[in-house]
Chain A
Amino acid sequence: DTGVSQDPRHKITKRGQNVTFRCDPISEHNRLYWYRQTLGQGPEFLTYFQNEAQLEKSRLLSDRFSAERPKGSFSTLEIQRTEQGDSAMYLCASSLGSGTDTQYFGPGTRLTVL
């Protein structure tokens, strides 16, 4: 399967701990996006990469959040000093970066902060 993959699928952590999520985009896609989805809401944009460059960050992305995409391939999203309000589904999407530039989503990582 050559779709977008995310790891882990589920993460339970205690408040104050750091967590890191990984996203592997579709191989030829040069754009990668992170979204956060809370219960009963649509996904909200966090940040996006064009190859290895992080071009846009939402104000939702506090200083405790950091994202990287070394070498323009996979990406990681780290949350430091987690809070209960960080509990959500974290979705990754990738796109080709041309044409209609449709975004294809991964299965998400569900984070629960106790």
Chain B
Amino acid sequence: AQTVTQSQPEMSVQEAETVTLSCTYDTSESDYYLFWYKQPPSRQMILVIRQEAYKQQNATENRFSVNFQKAAKSFSLKISDSQLGDAAMYFCAYRRRPGSQGNLIFGKGTKLSVKP
């Protein structure tokens, strides 16, 4: 069975600085998708960034980028120029390739605090 591990329950970053959130996963499959979702306090979960396993190039979305190391089964999220609005729970998630069971498998999350 696939598992997702986020080893940092909490992280803190100074406004305008850079922070990296870690995620490792376990799977025997070669084709899959990885996601980072953000869940602000009392607000709904939103997609931050996604990575397709067959793509070697790391995904980027504005201030958010990932370091995808397929052999190491590592998928970290880097947030540059951190803003107060980045404070939230961040969840790493895994999903098998389309055509199969499509549910997401989540890690336990990392709570990110941003200090002004």
> Please, which residues of chain B bring their CB within 8 A of the CB of A44?
106
> Please, which residues of chain A bring their CB within 8 A of the CB of B95?
101
Q: How far is the CA of A43 from the CA of B92 in the complex (A)?
A: 11
Q: Answer whether residue A98 sits at the interface, using C-beta atoms and an 8 A cutoff.
A: yes
Which A residues contact B (CB, under 8 angstroms)? 31, 33, 35, 40-45, 48, 56, 58, 91, 93, 95, 97-108
Question: Are B107 and A42 in contact (CB-based, < 8 A)?
Answer: yes
Question: Are A91 and B45 in contact (CB-based, < 8 A)?
Answer: yes
Chain A minimum-CB-distance residue to B35: A102
Given contacts A40-B108, A99-B98, A100-B52, contact A45 B103 (CB under 8 A): yes
CB distance from B27 to the nearest CB of A (A): 16
Question: Are B47 and A102 in contact (CB-based, < 8 A)?
Answer: yes
Given contacts A91-B45, A105-B45, contact A98 B98 (CB under 8 A): yes
Chain A minimum-CB-distance residue to B37: A105
Chain A minimum-CB-distance residue to B95: A101
Chain A minimum-CB-distance residue to B104: A103
Which B residues contact A (CB, under 8 angstroms)? 4, 33, 35, 37, 43-47, 50, 52, 91, 93, 95, 98, 101-109
> Please, which residues of chain A bring their CB within 8 A of the CB of B106?
42-44
Question: Are A31 and B102 in contact (CB-based, < 8 A)?
Answer: yes
Q: How far is the CA of A108 from the CA of B91 in the complex (A)?
A: 16
The 5 A-B residue pairs whose C-beta atoms are closest, nearest first, are A42-B106, A45-B103, A105-B45, A107-B44, A101-B98
Question: Are A100 and B33 in contact (CB-based, < 8 A)?
Answer: yes
Q: How far is the CA of A57 from the CA of B27 in the complex (A)?
A: 21
Q: How far is the CA of A68 from the CA of B103 in the complex (A)?
A: 17
Chain A minimum-CB-distance residue to B33: A100
Question: Are B45 and A101 in contact (CB-based, < 8 A)?
Answer: no
> Please, which residues of chain A bring their CB within 8 A of the CB of B101?
48, 56
Question: Are B47 and A104 in contact (CB-based, < 8 A)?
Answer: yes
Given contacts A42-B106, A42-B108, A45-B104, contact A106 B44 (CB under 8 A): yes
Q: How far is the CA of A48 from the CA of B95 in the complex (A)?
A: 14
> Please, which residues of chain A bring their CB within 8 A of the CB of B98?
97-101
Q: Could you say which of B43, B45, B91 has the most chain A C-beta atoms within 10 Å of its C-beta?
A: B45
